[in-house]
Amino acid sequence: MKRAVEAEDSPLEKNLLDSNDFLNSLFDAIPSYLFIVDEDVRILGRNSAAARLLGNDGATLHMKRGGDVLHCIHSMETPEGCGHAPYCSQCVIRNGVNAACRGEAIQRKSYRMILRKGGRESEMYMLITTAPLVYEGETYVLLCIEDISEVIQLKSLLPICAHCKKIRNDDEYWESVEEYISTRIDVDFSHGICPDCMEKYYSDIFNDDPVA
């Protein structure tokens, strides 16, 4: 298993996480994207979920700023990258990390990040949580990112056929409501018949009085 923290020569890596397999396992078992960052949002460590999100190994991510590895559109506005664009002063992630460095905790604050990768822009809706982490005199920040893009998308206006009620997905294919929702959130459907449809399609049964 990859070590949860990749920072060289930090006391956090040398002592706490390297000596505690359980803590590493717990860190990697959490499905949200977890990062350990410094005051400039430079990544010192990440859990397995975050590594899968970014598609890079720890050595590639080490000491890179969050906006750079997430492909935030604002990180591309200046040569210096994440933290130096005019918008960065409004960034919920960066402000949350700064608050944690002051000893404050930010819990599940909503944020919309515009990403640009491979010439294509996309939106990622997040809940941001930050908490201070002080170890052996060194200050770190635990950054948790929850991706709620699918939930937001389901709450938004969906293109639905006026006749068959299928929903058009992002790839321009039409799916049934059941298919569309079940592929985006972990739900199963059961089917019944409402009273209106029972009367419309099964009126002979619906209106049939029982024989005395």
Number of domains in the chain: 2
Which tokens sit at 94?
Answer: 């960066």
Give burial (CB, 10 Å; 0-12/13-18/19+) of 90. exposed
pLDDT by residue, tens only, the chain of 212 residues? 444 444 455 655 555 555 577 788 888 999 999 999 999 999 999 999 998 888 755 557 788 999 999 999 999 999 999 999 999 999 999 999 999 999 998 999 999 999 998 889 999 999 999 999 988 889 899 999 999 998 887 766 678 888 888 888 777 788 888 887 777 766 677 778 888 888 888 877 766 555 44
Among 149, 175, 191, the domain boundary falls at: 149
- CB-CB contact of 44 with 12 (8 Å): yes
| Side-chain-side CA neighbours of residue 106 (13 Å) | 23
Residue 27 lies in a domain: yes
- CB-CB contact of 111 with 126 (8 Å): yes
Which tokens sit at 127?
Answer: 């809940």
**180: containing domain:** 157-206
147: left (phi over 0), alpha (psi -120 to 50) or beta: beta
Residue 4 lies in a domain: no
Residue 73 lies in a domain: yes
| Residues making up the chain, counted from first to last | 212
Residue 2 lies in a domain: no
161 and 190 part of one domain: yes
